[in-house]
Each structure stands twice: as C-alpha cells, then as structure tokens.
Chain A
Amino acid sequence: MKRPTKRRIAALASLGLVAAALAAAPAQANVTIKVVTPNYTDAMPAYYEDLNARFMAANPTIKVVHENLSWDDILVKGRTFISTKSYPDVLNLNTFSEFAAEGLLYKTSDLFTEAKLSDFVTAFRDNSKYNGVEYAVPDLASARMFFINKALFYGAGNTKIPKTWADVTAAAKKIKAKYGSKVYPLAIPLGSEEAQAEFQIWAGGNGGRYFDEKNKKWVINSKENLETLNQLRAWVKAGYTQPNPASTNRTDAFKLFSQGRVAMINASVFFPSTLKDYKSKVDYGVAPFPSANASKKPITLGVQDYFMAFKKEGNKDAVSKYLNFLFEGKNYAGFLKAAGGFIPATKSASTEVDSSLLPFIEQLPNAIFYPGTLGAWGPVVAKITTQIGTGITKNPKTVLDSLQKAAESAGTN
C-alpha cells in the first residue's frame, strides 16, 4: 500500500519543486494540511474557522483545509478515510491505537517539545501510548456521574440518592408506583451511539472490565459483566426503563431526561451544557455512580479523545506547528469552550475550570478507562457498541461469549 502512495507523493513533490523553482518562490514549498474534527457542539465550525484563519495568517506557507463531521459520521468516515488511504493530516478522534499499530502516525515527541508534552495530564498521556510510545495527545476528557431529576426523584418519596444497585431498584420502584407509565424511572441507552460506555459504567461498579491490563487478556464474558447484564435485564423486565434499551441512543435518552420524563440517568460531564442547549427546565442533582453493592468501590468512566497526526512526506513541520498553535493557552481555552464543558487535558488549563466541573474532576482518581492503547481496541469496541445491547433481549451469556470470541480473534497487542 505504501509504494504507490509514496511514488505519487514524490511525483507531486517534484512537481512542486519545479513549480517553486520556476516561480522563484521562497525556499519553503507550500503545504496543504487536511484537518478532520468531530462536532462536539455546533460552536466547533466557528471556532476552527477563526483558529485556521489566524494560523494561516501567521504561517503563509501552510494552507489548512478543515472538515468538521458529526460523531456518527466521523466514526464511519474516519475509518473510510483510512481504508481508502485518503489520510487526513490531523485527526481528532476517540481512538488512535489502530492507526498507530499500522505505523501511520507521528510520535508525539516528533511534534511537541518535552516541556510542552509535560503539560498534558499524566494519566491522559499514559492512555495515549501504543507499545509504550506516545502517538497521540489528549484533547479533552470526560467523566460520568449519576444524574437525577430532583422533582421526580424526591416527589416519589425517595430521600437519598442511590449508592448501590439495590438502592436503584428501590428508588425505581417508588417512582414507577407514583408516576406510572408517564415517567421512566431509569434510562439505559444501549443503542449503537454509546452502548460500550453505558455498559462499562454499570459493569465497572461491579469490578467488570473489557480487558484485564495485568494479565493482558480480554475479559468481556467475565462473571462480573454477566451479573451486570443480568441486573440491567432485570430493570428492563420490571418496566423501570424506557422501552427497547438496545435501540435507544444516548441522545434520545438525554432528550427524554431534558423533557422531565426520566428520573435517573448516567451522564457525562458535558450533560449540564447539553441540558442548557435543550432549554430544559429540569432541576437536576449529581452524585457518584452507584456500585453493585456496598463492598464494591464506586467508579467513574474516564473517556478521553485524541489529536493525532498522520505521516506524509513533507507535512511534519506543518502539522507540528498546527497542533502547537491549537494547544497555545488562549486557543486551547477557546477549544474547550467550543467543545462545551469537558475536562481539560492540560495541567495549565485545569487550574481555571468552571465550578460545575469540579465534582467530576474529584471523581477522576476513581476513573477507569477503556483499553484504548490496544491496537485491536478500535474494531473490538465497534463490535461491543453495536452488539452489547442485544444482551437485553437475547441470552446474555451467548452475547458476551460471542463478543469475547471476536475480541480474542482480534488479538491483544
């Protein structure tokens, strides 16, 4: 795959050289870089328009072509870019390791100085390594907590926010008794948007993981995960959740909560700003996520996204300049603002966050992460995301076993 691409680039480069010589242009050839980013919020395109204009004004030899895609699209299209070899130069995505495994990415030490790198939060840096080498930088992170609709929750006679699964059951029972079918006590979105996260945060409270980092093996069909799936099924069966959890996307569940139709939900750090966007009048409370029982430690699911740069002939200097520019104090603050209420990935930006983020940052020491540094994680998580929800209606053991088998055949490197 590399040969024809290289040849083509070489041909283009030599054409460029000839053109440059003919025009007696400055010594440095013009470079165009393609930047592909997900649409965290609708403020992203305007942010990039301004950023790119200022970057190009400061670096007249670099042209930036920017493409902003919805998350749904970028997950598919991002992969299509890769499989059709039309690599972007800079990509912002939620996985990096599959591309690192293919040898497509620059090491971050090639792009940033060590001083700059040391500003990134250490835990997030550790999650950006493939085979011990950093190939991506974190752009932001999220943690999750348990949100309740105060009016519905306390209105049904509950007094304390659930700490364990049994508490959740008891609270859900009261809410259902009080409001009947008008309200769903608990929303469990296991649709193809974010099912992997929804399942992991419940399973994490039972000590369940997808991958055992210590023994380097997949543990998708573990006892803990099966217990979790059975608990989720029990809630669905008892009528405590919205119908068809396996087809409910996170966005749908968020909308139901914002309309005051859901009493309890797992949601991420940016949820308050989403509720504001939806013009929701729901008065909500935030608490640590319930664990399986009192003997199990409560956890949060930490999720981080990445910036990565693809190796192409002659683009190294340009992508390095671009990423350093983006992570400059003011520009990065703008990025965080446009992305809407996430946890900053740099130490310097962490000192001046909004107070609503503090409870989430407090949870970070209890955070578990996806095994995002595995080369096989991309395809495995894609399969978990589309399949895990079927465990609600099908035999849960069969579903977990088949995911385990698929993960094992994808490998553990």
Chain B
Amino acid sequence: MSGKLLIKNNATITKKSVATHDVSLTSALPWIGPALILIALVVIWPVVELVRISFTDITIAGSLLDFHGFTNYRELLANPDLYPVARRTLLWVFGIVFSTVILSLPLAQLINQDFPGRKYVRWALIFPWAASVVMTSMIWTWILDAYSGEFNLTLTQIGLITEPVDWVNNPGNSFYVLMAVAVFVSIPFTTYVLLAGLQSIPNDIIEAAAVDGAGHWQIYRQIKFPLLRNSLLIATIINLINVFNSFPIIWIMTRGGPGYETDTTTTFAYKLAFIESNMGQSTALGVFNFIVILLIVSLYLKVTKATRTEL
C-alpha cells in the first residue's frame, strides 16, 4: 500500500508547484519555441504537403499538374490490389500484437523471478530490440534461406526434413514467417514494459494474499494480472503503431512480393510511389494510413490519461 500512497503524495506536490508559478504563454514561448518550430517543420508541414499532393495530378518527375479533386482517392479505391493488401494489413497488425503480448506475459514473469544468470537472460532479451531491424531482417533472411540457411541445415541434420524448404518464399507460409520475425522484434519492448509493470506491484499485497492462502495461479489471475492492466494497454497500443508502420522486415525479406502477396498498406504505398511511379494513389493511401495512425494515437492519449487519473 505504501507505494500507492507515495505516488499520491508526489502528485499533490507537483500540482501545488505548478499552481504557484503563474506561467503565461508569452513567457513560455522562448523555451518551447524551438521545439514547436521543429514539430511544425518535420511533422506538420509534411502532413500538409501529403494531403495537398493527394488532391493533385502529379507525375513521377514531381510536376504538379493541377487540382484533381478526389480522383486519386477514387482510383485508389478502384484498384483491385488494395483490398487483399488491406485485409493482410489487419492480419499483420492484430496477429503480431496479439502473439507478442501472449508470449511477453510469461517472459516478463520469468525475468521478474530471481535466478542465477538472470542478468544475462535480460541482456539477451534486449538484443533484438537494440539491433537495427534491417540487420535483424537480413539475418533472418539468411537463417531461413532455402539452400544455404542454418535453419534448413539443422532440420535436415536432425532428420525432420529431407528436402530444403523455402520458408521465406513459399506462398503458403511466406507471410507468417514475416509475422514471426516481427513478433521476435516486438517481444523485447513489450516484455520490458510488462516487467516494469510487475515490478511496480507492491510485494505486501502479494504476501498478504499468500498468507490468506492464495495459490500461485490465483495470485497471478486475481492480483498481478489486474494490476498489469495499464502496462498491458500501453504496450499494446505502442505496438499497434510500430507494427502498422513496420516497413523494413517486409521490404528486406520479400519486397512485398511475389506480386503484392506479402505487402501491407505501408509497403504498398511505397511500391505505388517508387516502383510504379504512381504518386497520386500513393499519397492518397498515405493519407489513409495517416488517419489510421491518428486514431490509434488518440486511443493511446485517452488510455494514458485514464491511467494517470486512476493513480
């Protein structure tokens, strides 16, 4: 209980100190100004340009012809390749985030326990997160290579397969392999957020429950898991954003191919612009992607606000 009290005290202290300084916008401007300019330049301006271009007829050489109304949007919606890609994006986002969370929950539990060598296990877990995603994707491409990959070699040596399997390129499982790599990359961050959540649960509640005769599973289900809710929500939403925007894994391992068979809306937008020289449809799709991200971010803001008031 003391943990909670402490947080409460802190909150009141912060509130008081803010109230005593009467900060007006003009006096704050010199301090927040540079940040505001930066945001305007690197966030707001590109978004404005994106929306503007999506309403124009544009050639690959960047010649803006004229105002085009919703033509780019109509063409995009009439593009038969969009719909399989959009469905696949849903599978990509929800499949990866769900699997990541399911795998991270027990992992967080594990590295929260005290055991010899825990430090090294924690380090190892950070690795896929610390390494560049491009590097990770390349390494997996080579591990899973049909002819000279370590994975097939091992499976052949222990006798599980007799002929090499082309994991990355077989049409049936290609996309799932990409998803598995994405889960591999997402687990460290998720696990650490959950670990932080677990560590913030005060020990005395758990001890009290144990004294009252609760078993391990009961403690987990009725005490730890409910208290993890906030960390879980935040990890989920940040993962939603990351996974939706994820580009390097797909691009490096399959280039979204063959055809558009492993594209998500993110790689599809890139392909439209820089492979097929179709800037118009690409910017229209970019606007759609932006709206999706905006929705997830507003969800995030709402959730974090809710969790803060709860504390």
Contact = CB atoms under 8 A, between A and B. Distances in A.
Nearest to B169: A247
B257 A386 contact: yes
B166 A246 contact: no
Given A244-B169, A379-B277, A99 B61 contact: yes
A368 interface: no
A181 interface: yes
29 contacts: A1-B61, A1-B63, A79-B274, A80-B274, A82-B62, A83-B60, A83-B62, A83-B273, A83-B274, A85-B62, A98-B60, A98-B277, A99-B61, A102-B63, A191-B257, A243-B166, A243-B169, A243-B170, A244-B166, A244-B258, A248-B169, A382-B276, A383-B275, A383-B276, A386-B255, A386-B275, A387-B260, A402-B80, A402-B81
Contact of A76 (B80, B169, B171, B274): B274
A393 B171 contact: yes
A192 interface: yes
A357 interface: no
B64 interface: yes
Chain B CB count within 10 A is highest, among A83, A102, A190, A399, for A83
A382 B258 CA distance: 13
A79 B259 contact: no
Contacts of A1: 61-64
A278 to B, nearest CB: 14
A138 B278 CA distance: 27
Contacts of A393: 171, 258
B83 interface: no
A256 B147 contact: yes
B59 interface: yes
Contacts of B254: 247
Contacts of A383: 275-276
B165 to A, nearest CB: 9
A82 B61 contact: yes
Contact of B259 (A181, A248, A256, A386): A386
A378 interface: yes
Contacts of A246: 171, 257-259
Nearest to B258: A246
Dominant SS at the B interface?
loop
A34 B174 CA distance: 40
Contact of B258 (A79, A80, A389): A389
Contacts of B163: 181
The 8 closest A-B CB pairs, nearest first, are A246-B258, A390-B259, A247-B169, A379-B277, A102-B61, A244-B169, A1-B63, A389-B258
Interface string B250-294: 000011011111000000000101111111000000000000000
A295 B63 CA distance: 48
A104 interface: yes
B259 A102 contact: no
Chain A CB count within 10 A is highest, among B60, B254, B259, B273, for B259
A84 interface: yes
Chain A CB count within 10 A is highest, among B59, B258, B259, B271, for B258
A187 to B, nearest CB: 12
A379 B276 contact: yes
A251 B18 CA distance: 64
A402 B82 CA distance: 13
A82 B279 CA distance: 12
A383 B81 CA distance: 12
Contacts of B64: 1
Contacts of A394: 259
A181 B64 CA distance: 54
Range of interface residues on A (Cβ < 8 Å)? 35 or more
B271 A386 contact: yes
Given A83-B274, A99-B61, A102-B59, A192 B169 contact: no
B144 interface: no
B96 interface: no
Interface string A99-123: 1001010000000000000000000
A73 to B, nearest CB: 11
A328 B254 CA distance: 42
A84 B279 CA distance: 12
B146 interface: yes
A84 B62 contact: yes
A207 B255 CA distance: 31
A273 B259 CA distance: 31
Contacts of B271: 386
A345 B180 CA distance: 48
A64 to B, nearest CB: 24
A382 B277 contact: yes
Contact of B277 (A104, A181, A248, A378): A378
Contact of A247 (B59, B60, B257, B273): B257
Contacts of B80: 402
Interface string A244-256: 1011100000001
Interface in B166-191: 166, 168-171, 174
Interface string A33-70: 00000000000000000000000000000000000000
Contacts of A387: 259-260
Nearest to A98: B60
A299 to B, nearest CB: 26
Chain B CB count within 10 A is highest, among A79, A84, A104, A190, for A79
Given A1-B61, A389-B257, 10 more contacts: A2-B63, A83-B60, A85-B62, A244-B166, A246-B258, A247-B257, A382-B277, A386-B257, A386-B258, A390-B259
B275 A244 contact: no
Nearest to A380: B276
B170 A244 contact: yes
Chain A CB count within 10 A is highest, among B59, B273, B277, for B277
Contacts of A378: 60, 277
Nearest to B259: A390
B164 to A, nearest CB: 8
B274 A244 contact: no
Contact of B60 (A191, A379, A399): A379
Contact of A382 (B168, B169, B275): B275
Contacts of B255: 192, 386
A389 B171 CA distance: 12
Contacts of A399: 259
